Amino acid sequence: MESTVISINGKKIGCPVGTSVLEAADSAGIHIPRLCYHPELKPHGACRMCLVEDEKSGRLLASCVTPVSGGMSVQTDSKAVLRHRRNIVRLMISEHPESCVVCSKGNRCQLRRVAAELGVGEPELYPMPHVNALDQSNPFIVRDLSKCILCGRCIRGCKELVAQGTIDYSLRGVDSRPATLHDHPLTESSCTFCGTCVSLCPTGALSQKKSAFSGTPEREHDTICGFCGVGCSLSLG
Ligand code: FES
C-alpha cells in the first residue's frame, strides 16, 4: 500500500495514502477531540470538533474528513483551533438542557467530556435549550431529542451497520433532528430495536428505557435487542 508522511504538531508520521488526518493522529497517539466521528462509521464532518490548522495556508480543516497528503503539516492545538473548538462547545451547551445530574449517560457523555477537556463549564452563552417532548412511546428506547447534537451517528449506524435506514434527518436549521419517515413512532417503523443507535449516541439523547433517569448509567456495551433474547454484545460505545 502506498504511504506518505505528514507532520502533526511537528512530529513526522508515516501513514497509508487515503488515511484521514484524524486517523493518522490516532495512530501516533496524538489526541484530537471528536463527537460525530466513530471508527465503525463513514466520517461525516458534522461537529467540527476535530479541527486542525494547516500550517501553510492557516486554514482550519475537519481532520476526520481530510485525507493526508504528502508534505502536509498541521497543528492540533493552535490558538485558532482551540478558540473555534471552545466556541462550538459553548454553542452546543447553550442548546443543551442542564440535567447532567439525572442524565442516563452520566460520565459517559462525550459532550460533557469534551467540554471538560476544553475548560468549558457552565453555559457561557445565553441558554436556548431545545424543547422536545420526551418520547417514551416504545418498550425499549427513550428519545430525548433536547439532548441531540446532530452528530448523525444514530442515522449512519442504522444505515451502515444494520442496513435499516429507519431514521434520517428531518426538517432544517434549528428544527433539524433525527426522525423516522413521516415522524411515525418507532413501533410503527422498520426499527428492530437492536440498540445500535443507543450504543452510538454520544449524549443522553438516546437511552435504554431501563436506565433512563434511574440514576444508573448504561453499561458500555449493552444490547437491547428485543427479538432473540440472546444479546449480541454490541461494542459500539
Ligand atoms: Fe470531525 Fe465531527 S469529529 S467533524
- Predicted pLDDT at 211: 58
Q: What is the pLDDT of residues 80-94, one digit of tens each?
A: 999 999 999 999 998
pLDDT of residue 203: 96
Residue 236 has pLDDT above 80, yes or no: no
What pTM does this model have? 0.86
Q: Which residues contact 229 (CB under 8 A, 6 or more apart)?
A: none
- Clarify whether residues 52 and 120 are in a common domain: no
Residue 160 CA to ligand 1 center (angstroms) comes to: 18
Residues 114 and 180 in one domain: yes
From the CA of 50, give the closest atom in ligand 1: 1
Say yes or no: CB of residue 36 within 6 Å of ligand 1.
yes
Share of residues in the chain with pLDDT > 90 (%): 68
pLDDT in tens, 23-44: 999 999 999 999 999 999 999 9
Which triple of cell numbers denotes residue 193?
430495536
Taking Cα atoms as reference points, which of 26, 16, 4 lies closest to residue 72?
4
Nearest atom in ligand 1 to 63's CA = 1
Whether 83 is covered by a domain: the verdict is no
Which one of 23, 32, 34, 91 would you pick to mutate in the ligand 1 pocket, going by the greatest count of ligand atoms within 8 A of its CB?
34
Q: Is residue 219 part of a domain?
A: no
Flag whether 102 is in a domain: yes
Q: Is 87 a domain residue?
A: no
Q: What pLDDT shows up at residue 220?
A: 44
Residue 219 reports pLDDT greater than 60: no
**Residues 200 and 118 occupy one common structural domain:** yes
The number of folded domains in the chain is 2
Judge contact between 63 and 25, C-beta under 8 A.
Answer: yes
Residues 55 and 132 in one domain: no
Average pLDDT, stretch 53-74?
A: 97
Domain range for residue 147? 95-208
The reported pLDDT for the residue numbered 128 is 74
The atom of ligand 1 lying closest to the CA of 151 is 2
| 234 inside domain | no
At residue 216 the predicted structure's pLDDT band, cuts being 50, 70 and 90, is: low
Question: Could you tell me the CATH number of the domain that includes residue 116?
Answer: 3.30.70.20
Do 106 and 72 belong together in one domain?
A: no
State in Å: Cα 61 to ligand 1 middle: 10
Closest CA to 87 of 51, 141, 129: 51
Please check the confidence at residue 222 and state whether its pLDDT lies above 90: no
Q: How far is the CA of 37 from the centre of ligand 1 (A)?
A: 5
66 and 148 in a single domain? The answer is: no
Q: Is the dihedral of CA 47, 53, 58, 59 positive or negative?
A: negative
Residues 200 and 101 in one domain: yes
CATH assignment at residue 55: 3.10.20.740
- Contact in structure between 159 and 200 (CB atoms under 8 Å): no
